């Protein structure tokens, strides 16, 4: 039994989500004794959420793969690393020789941005893979933020965030930071931050089709019909002018076309959007008035806004409202973080639509095609058809629209590789799986999220445990594959690859720190400060934050104005009542992180969270009672799920959380399989997209409901097993 005397304490940053919480991990040798919040961490000040303990579960998980695996006629068999890497390189080279470089599809999942090693070395692997058929999780998430910021501020990663620590008024639309712990707003302990806004006599208002956990701790909540956010935002912009609240500031003086914003939303009044949005005209006017009159304020819209048919236009209008009300680069408004290592300086600004997909002519963004096009590019014969696939830290079968179609596309590929430490719903289709070490076995520095943080800090986390013998970090896998695939790299690429392999990605981190805007930073200094270093609150950063050469904010208004025609085609502003179509939205829970933390017993235990939330009125209309099994059908598929009747949902709306559906055969995640749930992406439609950006529209999916079993007491897990 461990005693206090031989235990050690390790400090690091949790990398599971964007919140960057500091952890204090007590351990004895390789045994973890406890994981708690680090009270001395200057960013999170001791806060952690329940997911932090999953780092231990991931580390200890017997289901986690620790050696490369090859799928054979007799099932999975272990391979040595040299054999596995050689086979992967040979498989890719054979495929590309036969069908061309672009016949290899590439998917980059969300965990890549939480991984310093992957961030530093991915470009080596991508160069080696040579293919332009690349997709990533960006286009089912934050793509609109990148495009708006690329246009306005000159770089896709120059993204301002709410100054939540000082604002007096926060208007939140389509975001649930109490469940996500902040997103495109790295902010540990949002619950406390909202309490603090209210304590200083400020106000927090939430607009969402669901009365979320965030709404529950805020001052005010308004239901909104899914997909109609663009109408509300246009009407709000109009109201700012109608009520005379436009404010000229340093930011507005740096803005081209500032005067043209006045007419951008002309015709969208609070009166004529009320019926379509479900929010009365008087309420819209009051929301705008209070927002504009507040001493400081910020309008923040996130995932719920981005993943709908007008996600990009909506995020643009959010930025316009912040701009015309004087909230950009203002204390308590939308401010630019100033990270110690600024990824903006080491990457291109981004671009939209340089290339188009083969089948549906959808635009790429910064070299990534929209994920909604992935399965059709695999299934549609012809030149350029994707015949092979490398999946890097993603589970798109569960996390992208129409997962069933993607499954059938993966099944007919000639060759597939997954870099993943689980045999999951996507990696089970691979010929070879290359598993990296768990998060506690690698160094960590938040390359991305320091740049989205609501307070400037810097912190390096060394690996808690050494890489176990016979295992490899993501960056080692990446570099070793790159070496096999990219033999013709130039001298400097080879040298960089060699040094990174020799010294680890922290060598590159140290180079970044030495070039920092903050004097005296180095890896050595960060190691001497294991809790992290406080670099101060956000400060005004215009015009230097702008990456356009002329140091102006570019509105690129014609591009967005053109999309207004699509808005008028899609909505009937003359309608006198809300449509009676039932619309499906997703949801997130603080104990879950997309699809990949469901093999932790501590996180999934208790009552199933994978339920169909439905408002009592709608439930009554459909003769559905709490606990009944309901068949939900969309244009692309159907599933059966237990009903949870609750007035949290707007009437006419139902909600299923994403990331579940572990009832597929052939996966190896014992806990997740017992708590399988169903995949909402068996209902979402890959043809429902934001045409302007190519982003997936997974919110507001029309569905039909049918109560198929009034057996409220039936064991749902048994039923799910039967369905599988
Ligand atoms: S909020 Fe995010 S970063 Fe913080 S402990 Fe939870 S999962 Fe980790």
Probe target for ligand 1 pocket from 48, 55, 113, 532, with the most ligand atoms within 8 Å of CB: 48
Give the rounded percent of residues in the chain with a pLDDT score beyond 90.
89
Tokens of 223: 């239901």
Q: The domain containing residue 241 runs over which residues?
A: 143-339+554-561
Q: What is the mean pLDDT of residues 240-250?
A: 97
Structure confidence at residue 724 (pLDDT): 38
Distance CA(141)–CA(656), nearest Å, equals 17
Residue 15 alpha carbon, nearest atom of ligand 1 = 3
Tokens of 516: 């920092």
CA of 289 to the centre of ligand 1 (A): 35
Q: Is any atom of ligand 1 closer than 6 Å to the C-beta of 23?
A: no
Check whether residue 153 and residue 204 sit in a common domain. yes
Q: Is any atom of ligand 1 closer than 6 Å to the C-beta of 48?
A: yes
Structure confidence at residue 346 (pLDDT): 86
Please return the burial class of 73, using the count of CB atoms within 10 Å of its CB with bins 0-12, 13-18 and 19+.
Answer: exposed
Q: Is any atom of ligand 1 closer than 6 Å to the C-beta of 187?
A: no
Residue 19 alpha carbon, nearest atom of ligand 1 = 3
Rg of the Cα atoms in the chain: 25
Structure confidence at residue 2 (pLDDT): 45
Probe target for ligand 1 pocket from 11, 12, 19, with the most ligand atoms within 8 Å of CB: 19
Tokens of 97: 């020789």
Distance CA(202)–CA(197), nearest Å, equals 5
Q: Is any atom of ligand 1 closer than 6 Å to the C-beta of 297?
A: no
Residue of the CA atom closest to atom 6 of ligand 1: 49
Check whether residue 106 and residue 148 sit in a common domain. no
Give Cα separations from 292 to 70, 285, 287, 296, 326 (angstroms): 60, 11, 9, 8, 9
Report H helices in 200-334: 213-216, 229-242, 250-253, 261-264, 270-277, 281-293, 303-306, 311-324
* Residue 570 belongs to some domain of the structure: no
Q: Is any atom of ligand 1 closer than 6 Å to the C-beta of 21?
A: yes
Residue 366 has pLDDT above 50, yes or no: yes
Distance CA(509)–CA(514), nearest Å, equals 9
Tokens of 78: 């272990």
CA of 21 to the centre of ligand 1 (A): 5
Q: Is any atom of ligand 1 closer than 6 Å to the C-beta of 597?
A: no
- pTM (2 decimals)? 0.96
Distance CA(92)–CA(389), nearest Å, equals 9
CA of 44 to the centre of ligand 1 (A): 10
Check whether residue 384 and residue 474 sit in a common domain. yes
605-628 pLDDT, tens digit per residue, is 988 899 999 999 999 999 999 999
Please spell the DSSP secondary structure of 42-53, one letter per residue.
TTTTT---GGGG
* Residue 15 belongs to some domain of the structure: yes
Give Cα separations from 633 to 322, 473, 529, 662 (angstroms): 39, 42, 54, 19
CATH code for position 426: 3.40.50.740
Check whether residue 632 and residue 680 sit in a common domain. yes
469-491 pLDDT, tens digit per residue, is 999 999 999 999 999 998 888 88
Check whether residue 31 and residue 75 sit in a common domain. no
Check whether residue 165 and residue 187 sit in a common domain. yes
Probe target for ligand 1 pocket from 24, 186, 188, 600, with the most ligand atoms within 8 Å of CB: 188
Cis bond upstream, residue 624 (ω within 30): no
Any idea what the Cα angle at residue 605 is, between residues 618 and 206, rounded to 5°?
A: 45
Q: Is any atom of ligand 1 closer than 6 Å to the C-beta of 444?
A: no
Q: What is the mean pLDDT of residues 18-28?
A: 97
Nearest CA among 337, 334, 283, 43 for reference residue 170 = 334
Distance CA(430)–CA(695), nearest Å, equals 26
Check whether residue 420 and residue 470 sit in a common domain. yes
Check whether residue 294 and residue 246 sit in a common domain. yes
Q: Give Cα 38 distance to the centre of its chain.
A: 25
Check whether residue 391 and residue 348 sit in a common domain. yes
Probe target for ligand 1 pocket from 11, 14, 111, 450, with the most ligand atoms within 8 Å of CB: 14
pLDDT band at residue 592 using 50, 70 and 90 as cut-offs: confident
For β-strands 31-37 and 22-28, DSSP reports them as: antiparallel
Distance CA(351)–CA(131), nearest Å, equals 18
Residue 20 alpha carbon, nearest atom of ligand 1 = 3
Give the rounded percent of residues in the chain with a pLDDT score beyond 70.
97
Distance CA(349)–CA(339), nearest Å, equals 17
Distance CA(94)–CA(257), nearest Å, equals 53
Q: Is any atom of ligand 1 closer than 6 Å to the C-beta of 175?
A: no
Structure confidence at residue 4 (pLDDT): 52
CA of 453 to the centre of ligand 1 (A): 14
* Residue 549 belongs to some domain of the structure: no
**DSSP collapsed to 3 states, 620-656:** HHCCCCCCCEEEEECCCCEEEEEEEECCCECCCEEEC
Give Cα separations from 447 to 344, 346, 589 (angstroms): 10, 11, 25
CATH code for position 303: 3.40.228.10
Q: Is any atom of ligand 1 closer than 6 Å to the C-beta of 181?
A: yes
* CB contact at 8 A, 370 and 696: yes
CA of 212 to the centre of ligand 1 (A): 19
Distance CA(582)–CA(237), nearest Å, equals 28
Tokens of 335: 């401010």
Q: Is any atom of ligand 1 closer than 6 Å to the C-beta of 52?
A: yes
Residue tagged 């991305």 (tokens): 448
Give Cα separations from 713 to 629, 642, 663, 689 (angstroms): 10, 10, 20, 38
CATH code for position 41: 2.20.25.90
Structure confidence at residue 574 (pLDDT): 81
For β-strands 8-13 and 22-28, DSSP reports them as: antiparallel
Check whether residue 136 and residue 149 sit in a common domain. no
* CB contact at 8 A, 378 and 389: yes
* Residue 479 belongs to some domain of the structure: yes
Q: In whole numbers, what is the pLDDT of the chain averaged over residues?
A: 94
Q: What is the mean pLDDT of residues 230-234?
A: 98
Nearest CA among 291, 190, 273 for reference residue 228 = 273
Other beta carbons within 10 angstroms of residue 658's beta carbon come to: 21
Residue environment code for 275-310, b if the CB has 16+ CB neighbours within 10 A, otherwise e = bbbbbebeebbebbebbbebebbbbbbbbbbbbbbb
Residue of the CA atom closest to atom 2 of ligand 1: 17
Check whether residue 35 and residue 51 sit in a common domain. yes
Nearest CA among 423, 314, 121 for reference residue 700 = 314
- Residue after which a domain boundary falls, among 60, 80, 108: 60
Probe target for ligand 1 pocket from 11, 15, 18, 21, with the most ligand atoms within 8 Å of CB: 21
Residue 37 alpha carbon, nearest atom of ligand 1 = 5
CA of 91 to the centre of ligand 1 (A): 38
Residue 16 alpha carbon, nearest atom of ligand 1 = 7
Q: What is the mean pLDDT of residues 293-321?
A: 97
Q: Is any atom of ligand 1 closer than 6 Å to the C-beta of 25?
A: no
CATH code for position 637: 2.40.40.20
* CB contact at 8 A, 32 and 63: no
CA of 468 to the centre of ligand 1 (A): 25
* Residue 542 belongs to some domain of the structure: no
* Residue 541 belongs to some domain of the structure: no
* Residue 575 belongs to some domain of the structure: no
CA of 15 to the centre of ligand 1 (A): 7
534-569 pLDDT, tens digit per residue, is 999 999 999 999 999 999 999 999 999 999 999 999
Residue 470 dihedral angles phi and psi, to the nearest 5°: 80, 10
CA of 23 to the centre of ligand 1 (A): 9
* CB contact at 8 A, 687 and 643: no
Q: Is any atom of ligand 1 closer than 6 Å to the C-beta of 533?
A: no
* Residue 548 belongs to some domain of the structure: no
Probe target for ligand 1 pocket from 41, 49, 57, with the most ligand atoms within 8 Å of CB: 49
Probe target for ligand 1 pocket from 36, 38, 52, with the most ligand atoms within 8 Å of CB: 52
Q: Give Cα 376 distance to the centre of its chain.
A: 23
* CB contact at 8 A, 156 and 346: no
Distance CA(16)–CA(518), nearest Å, equals 27
Residue 44 alpha carbon, nearest atom of ligand 1 = 4
Q: Is any atom of ligand 1 closer than 6 Å to the C-beta of 58?
A: no
> How many folded domains does the chain comprise?
4
Residue of the CA atom closest to atom 4 of ligand 1: 21
Residue 723 has pLDDT above 90, yes or no: no
**How many residues in total does the chain contain?**
724
Q: Among the listed ranges 136-140, 355-359, 710-714, which one has the minimum average pLDDT value?
A: 710-714
Tokens of 288: 């705008």
Structure confidence at residue 572 (pLDDT): 85
Nearest CA among 491, 445, 378 for reference residue 133 = 378
Check whether residue 204 and residue 303 sit in a common domain. yes
Structure confidence at residue 5 (pLDDT): 67
Q: Is any atom of ligand 1 closer than 6 Å to the C-beta of 17?
A: yes
143-153 vs 311-324: helix crossing angle, rounded to 10: 50
Q: Is any atom of ligand 1 closer than 6 Å to the C-beta of 222?
A: no
């Amino acid at each position: 039994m461990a005693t206090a005397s031989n235990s050690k304490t390790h400090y690091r940053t949790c990398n599971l989500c964007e919140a960057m919480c500091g952890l204090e991990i007590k351990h004895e040798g390789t045994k973890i004794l406890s994981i708690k919040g680090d009270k001395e961490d200057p960013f999170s000040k001791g806060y952690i959420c329940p997911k932090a303990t999953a780092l231990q579960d991931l580390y200890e998980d017997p289901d986690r793969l620790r050696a490369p695996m090859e799928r054979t006629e007799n099932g999975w068999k272990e391979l040595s690393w040299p054999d596995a890497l050689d086979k992967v390189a040979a498989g890719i080279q054979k495929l590309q020789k036969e069908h061309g470089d672009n016949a290899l599809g590439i998917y980059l999942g969300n965990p890549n941005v939480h991984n310093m090693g992957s961030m530093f070395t991915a470009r080596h692997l991508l160069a080696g893979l040579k293919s332009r058929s690349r997709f990533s999780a960006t286009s089912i998430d934050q793509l609109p933020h990148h495009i708006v910021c690329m246009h306005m501020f000159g770089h896709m990663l120059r993204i301002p965030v709410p100054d939540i620590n000082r604002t007096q008024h926060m208007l939140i639309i389509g975001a649930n930071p109490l469940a996500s712990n902040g997103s495109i707003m790295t902010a540990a302990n949002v619950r406390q931050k909202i309490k603090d806004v209210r304590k200083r006599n400020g106000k927090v208002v939430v607009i969402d089709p669901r009365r979320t956990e965030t709404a529950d701790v805020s001052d005010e909540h308004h239901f909104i019909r899914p997909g109609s956010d663009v109408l509300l935002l246009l009407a709000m912009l109009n109201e700012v002018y109608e009520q005379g609240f436009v404010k000229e500031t340093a930011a507005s003086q740096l803005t081209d076309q500032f005067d043209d914003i006045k007419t951008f939303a002309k015709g969208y009044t609070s009166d004529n959007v009320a019926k379509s949005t479900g929010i009365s005209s008087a309420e819209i006017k009051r929301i705008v008035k209070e927002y504009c009159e507040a001493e400081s304020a910020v309008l923040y819209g996130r995932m719920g806004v981005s993943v709908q048919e007008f996600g990009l236009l909506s995020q643009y209008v959010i930025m316009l409202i912040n701009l015309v009300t004087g909230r950009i680069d203002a204390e308590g408004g939308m401010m630019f973080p100033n990270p110690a290592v600024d990824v903006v300086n080491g990457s291109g600004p981004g671009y939209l639509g340089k290339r188009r997909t083969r089948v549906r002519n959808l635009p790429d963004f910064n070299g990534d095609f929209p994920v909604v096009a992935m399965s059709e590019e695999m299934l549609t014969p012809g030149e350029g058809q994707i015949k092979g696939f490398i999946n890097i830290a993603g589970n798109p079968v569960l996390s992208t629209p129409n997962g069933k179609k993607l499954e059938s596309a993966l099944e007919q590929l000639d060759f597939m590789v997954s870099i993943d430490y689980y045999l999951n719903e996507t990696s089970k289709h691979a010929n070879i799986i290359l598993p990296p070490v768990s998060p506690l076995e690698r160094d960590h520095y938040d390359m991305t999220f320091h740049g989205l943080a609501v307070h400037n800090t810097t912190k390096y986390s060394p690996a808690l445990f050494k890489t176990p013998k016979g295992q490899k970090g993501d960056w080692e896998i990446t570099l070793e594959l790159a070496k096999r695939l990219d033999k013709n790299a130039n001298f400097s690429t080879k040298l960089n690859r060699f040094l990174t392999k020799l010294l680890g990605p922290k060598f590159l981190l140290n180079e970044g720190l030495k070039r920092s805007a903050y004097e005296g930073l180095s890896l050595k200094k960060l190691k001497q400060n294991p809790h992290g270093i406080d670099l101060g609150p956000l400060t005004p950063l215009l015009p230097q934050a702008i990456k356009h050469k002329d140091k102006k904010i570019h509105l690129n208004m014609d591009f967005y104005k053109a999309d207004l025609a699509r808005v008028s085609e899609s909505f009937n502003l003359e309608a006198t009542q809300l449509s009676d179509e039932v619309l499906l939205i997703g949801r997130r829970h603080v104990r879950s992180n997309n699809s990949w933390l469901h093999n932790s017993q501590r996180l999934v235990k208790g009552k199933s969270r994978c339920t169909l939330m439905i408002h009592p009125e709608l439930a009554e209309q459909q003769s559905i009672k709490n606990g009944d099994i309901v068949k939900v059908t969309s244009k692309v598929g159907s599933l059966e799920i237990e009903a949870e009747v609750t007035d949290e949902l707007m009437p006419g709306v139902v909600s299923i959380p994403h990331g579940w559906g572990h009832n597929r055969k052939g996966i190896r995640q014992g806990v997740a399989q017992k708590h399988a749930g169903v995949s909402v992406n068996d209902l979402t439609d890959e043809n429902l997209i934001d045409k302007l950006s190519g982003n997936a529209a997974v919110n507001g999916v029309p569905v039909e409901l049918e109560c198929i079993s009034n057996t409220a007491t039936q064991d749902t897990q048994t039923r799910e097993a039967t369905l599988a």
